[in-house]
Chains A and B, each alone.
Chain A
Amino acid sequence: MNAVSIRPADEMRDLYRELILDHARNPRHFHKLDAATHTAEGINPLCGDKLRLYVAVDDNDVITAAAFEGSGCAISVASASLLTDLVTGLSKQQALDCFAEVTGRLTAPDEYESRDIGVNLDKIRALDGVRDYPSRVKCATLAWHALSSAVRGQSDTVSTE
């Protein structure tokens, strides 16, 4: 390997940040959730990403557990992994607020007006790099669309196409 030529690949570090690569290599909550009360599948036909998201919601509308399984690119898997970390302990409404916040920021960063939803989204900012890669935004938002569909009780398959 040629040490001198490593540098240009570092330009990709804005997209493939260490946090993203870590979650892609070692996705959290990456399993079926038997206790799930809601589930939905997300499909991105462009690259073949296919994730199933599970959430368990208690009687107080609080998400007590979240998990996912399936296969996809590093961006979609890392995004799903970060999602499951984040939404555990949130109310259904807060989870939907997160969905609006994340998809708004990634798909329409210029128009979307961020608002305080009382959830720390700092880690999710690791996904911001996809905004420079229009074909990859759908990878980053796939699990979030599945979350929205699951929490709303629409257990259908959602597609980013």
Chain B
Amino acid sequence: MSQPQAQARPDVADCRRDFPALDQQVSGHPLAYLDNAASSQQPQSVIDAVARYHREDHANVHRGVHTLSHRATEAFEGARDKLRDFINAASRNEIVLTSGTTEGINLVAQSYCRPRLGAGDEILITHLEHHSNIVPWQQVCEQTGASLVVAPINERGEVELDQFLGLLSEKTRFVAISHVSNALGTINPATDIIAAAKERGIPVLLDGAQAVPHMAVDVQALGCDFYAFSGHKMFGPTGTGVLYGRESLLDAMPPWQGGGDMILEVSFDGTTYNELPYKFEAGTPNISGVVGLGAAVDYLVDVGLDRIAGHEEQLLGYMTQRLGDLPDVRLIGTARNKASVQSFIVGDIHPHDLGTILDHQGVAIRTGHHCAMPVMDYFGVPGTARASLALYNTEGDVDQLVTAIEKAQRLFA
């Protein structure tokens, strides 16, 4: 991945000043935004790109002969090309623009799996998954009679690779795993899993929502068949996302929704579907959002994913150490290979109470089950507090978090 201006930025955390939302006080304290796994803030360049599009270029795409429609189409399709480069897909036909990770996974469940699966077949996932990588497969199982098989995790919150591989069998027809766990930050051994699945000819989907803002992703190097991610966790607008699919698989799949833009010709005798990727993009898309997502890709590439990963790895180490040094704090999720996230519990303070007290000190974290209730069940907790980092976070944010936790402990002492 090219990093043309990498040398121009001495410190990744200097990027903080590119994000206007971070420059504010909450409850009389500087905002320490540590809820990036839920949604990240947007840099000025993304905000400007969306505003400029609305101010100057807005029209519907792929339709009009007029100038604005042409500009809108260029901006929209230009973003698709950036996204192709961003994850190194072989072709722009493999970049289906969606409303987010959830839609991408549902598309694969309904369009790829549903017509192919039946009783006796198995879909293999892990115990770590976000609900959006559980429920769509449960639905397909209900529709087809297939079974959902869940690979176990250990007390560190890691998928047990041997056990996972042991669950691959001639019955396994599909594998769906998170690249990075949203609740715990565990980086799953995707390449090992994909290689083993490939040997058996089993397609693999990676839920990449928590990976793309934190590390360079190359879908060809990974060898996965599908890769879904969201714009709003990588500094882009909400309501945007990408489903990468291997072209040969996408070609063989029926459309998932019908409507405008996904057709070549419609008559009451029948309809000829459009070519890839438009076959999967029925209706007017989120044009301005995708334009913003293109700007977010520019921003990430400009800063450099490798530098971001290095900065966050160092900061995660600092945060884990500071939290671990606090008395009566239990770290949930201590995988050896992690990105960005630390879940924890403070004594017998309920996470929701902790979240309110921290908010009162300007610290934004997520509390609750993080849409991963099976993970909470495994650790025997109703929920956790979760601090999640992005490129703009600093040791100062972590220090503010720790100070706020100490205050909560005094309040509840």
Asked if B410 and A139 sit within 8 Å, CB to CB, the answer is no
B-chain residues with CB within 8 Å of residue A5 when the two chains form the complex: 403, 407
A-chain residues with CB within 8 Å of residue B369 when the two chains form the complex: 48
A-chain residues with CB within 8 Å of residue B77 when the two chains form the complex: none
> Given contacts A8-B361, A71-B382, is CB(A46)–CB(B356) below 8 Å?
no
Q: In chain B, residues 379-413, which have Cβ atoms closer than 8 Å to a Cβ of chain A?
A: 382-383, 403, 406-408, 410-412
Please pick, from A6, A13, A50, A75, the residue contacting B353 in the complex, using a CB distance under 8 A. A75
Please pick, from B352, B353, B360, B376, the residue contacting A11 in the complex, using a CB distance under 8 A. B360
B-chain residues with CB within 8 Å of residue A135 when the two chains form the complex: 356
Closest beta carbon of chain B to A153's beta carbon, Å: 29
Please pick, from A11, A15, A48, the residue contacting B382 in the complex, using a CB distance under 8 A. A48
**Distance A8 CA – B27 CA, assembled complex (angstroms):** 10
Asked if A6 and B410 sit within 8 Å, CB to CB, the answer is yes
**Distance A2 CA – B411 CA, assembled complex (angstroms):** 14
**Distance A75 CA – B406 CA, assembled complex (angstroms):** 20
> Given contacts A48-B369, A48-B382, is CB(A74)–CB(B407) below 8 Å?
no
**Distance A133 CA – B355 CA, assembled complex (angstroms):** 11
**Distance A75 CA – B350 CA, assembled complex (angstroms):** 10
Is the C-beta of B367 less than 8 angstroms from some C-beta in chain A? yes
**Distance A8 CA – B411 CA, assembled complex (angstroms):** 11
Is the C-beta of A86 less than 8 angstroms from some C-beta in chain B? no
Is the C-beta of A117 less than 8 angstroms from some C-beta in chain B? no
Is the C-beta of B368 less than 8 angstroms from some C-beta in chain A? yes
**Distance A3 CA – B6 CA, assembled complex (angstroms):** 44
Is the C-beta of B150 less than 8 angstroms from some C-beta in chain A? no
> Given contacts A8-B361, A12-B360, is CB(A48)–CB(B407) below 8 Å?
no
> Given contacts A47-B351, A139-B352, is CB(A12)–CB(B403) below 8 Å?
no
Asked if B403 and A16 sit within 8 Å, CB to CB, the answer is no
> Given contacts A11-B360, A136-B356, is CB(A47)–CB(B408) below 8 Å?
no
Task: Write the B85-96 contact mask toward A (1 if CB under 8 angstroms, else 0).
Answer: 000000000000
Is the C-beta of B22 less than 8 angstroms from some C-beta in chain A? no
Closest beta carbon of chain B to A135's beta carbon, Å: 8
Asked if A16 and B411 sit within 8 Å, CB to CB, the answer is yes
A-chain residues with CB within 8 Å of residue B412 when the two chains form the complex: 16, 21, 74
Asked if A12 and B382 sit within 8 Å, CB to CB, the answer is no
Please pick, from B353, B368, B408, B410, the residue contacting A1 in the complex, using a CB distance under 8 A. B410
**Distance A48 CA – B349 CA, assembled complex (angstroms):** 14
Is the C-beta of B357 less than 8 angstroms from some C-beta in chain A? yes
**Distance A50 CA – B403 CA, assembled complex (angstroms):** 30
Q: In chain A, residues 1-59, which have Cβ atoms closer than 8 Å to a Cβ of chain B?
A: 1, 5-6, 8-9, 11-13, 15-16, 21, 46-50
Asked if A9 and B407 sit within 8 Å, CB to CB, the answer is yes
> Given contacts A47-B351, A74-B350, is CB(A15)–CB(B356) below 8 Å?
yes
Is the C-beta of A73 less than 8 angstroms from some C-beta in chain B? yes
Closest beta carbon of chain B to A48's beta carbon, Å: 4
Nearest to A46 among chain B residues (CB) is B368
B-chain residues with CB within 8 Å of residue A21 when the two chains form the complex: 411-412
Asked if B410 and A12 sit within 8 Å, CB to CB, the answer is no
> Given contacts A8-B361, A133-B356, is CB(A47)–CB(B350) below 8 Å?
yes
Closest beta carbon of chain A to B72's beta carbon, Å: 38
Is the C-beta of A72 less than 8 angstroms from some C-beta in chain B? yes
Asked if A74 and B403 sit within 8 Å, CB to CB, the answer is no
> Given contacts A71-B382, A72-B350, A74-B350, is CB(A47)–CB(B410) below 8 Å?
no
A-chain residues with CB within 8 Å of residue B376 when the two chains form the complex: 48
**Distance A112 CA – B349 CA, assembled complex (angstroms):** 32
**Distance A11 CA – B27 CA, assembled complex (angstroms):** 10
A-chain residues with CB within 8 Å of residue B356 when the two chains form the complex: 12, 15, 133, 135-136
Q: In chain A, residues 55-85, which have Cβ atoms closer than 8 Å to a Cβ of chain B?
A: 71-75
B-chain residues with CB within 8 Å of residue A47 when the two chains form the complex: 350-352, 367-368, 382-383
A-chain residues with CB within 8 Å of residue B350 when the two chains form the complex: 47, 72-74
**Distance A133 CA – B352 CA, assembled complex (angstroms):** 12
**Distance A8 CA – B408 CA, assembled complex (angstroms):** 11
**Distance A21 CA – B351 CA, assembled complex (angstroms):** 15
> Given contacts A48-B368, A48-B382, is CB(A9)–CB(B353) below 8 Å?
no
**Distance A49 CA – B352 CA, assembled complex (angstroms):** 9
B-chain residues with CB within 8 Å of residue A136 when the two chains form the complex: 352, 356
**Distance A8 CA – B410 CA, assembled complex (angstroms):** 11
Task: Write the B337-371 contact mask toward A (1 if CB under 8 angstroms, else 0).
Answer: 00000000000011111001100110000011100
Q: Which residues of A contact B (CB under 8 A)?
A: 1, 5-6, 8-9, 11-13, 15-16, 21, 46-50, 71-75, 133, 135-136, 139
Known: A13-B411, A48-B369, A50-B382. 4 other contacts (CB 8 A): A5-B403, A9-B407, A49-B352, A74-B412
The 14 sampled A-B contact pairs (Cβ below 8 Å) are A6-B407, A8-B28, A9-B411, A16-B353, A16-B412, A21-B412, A47-B352, A47-B368, A50-B382, A71-B382, A73-B350, A74-B349, A133-B356, A136-B352
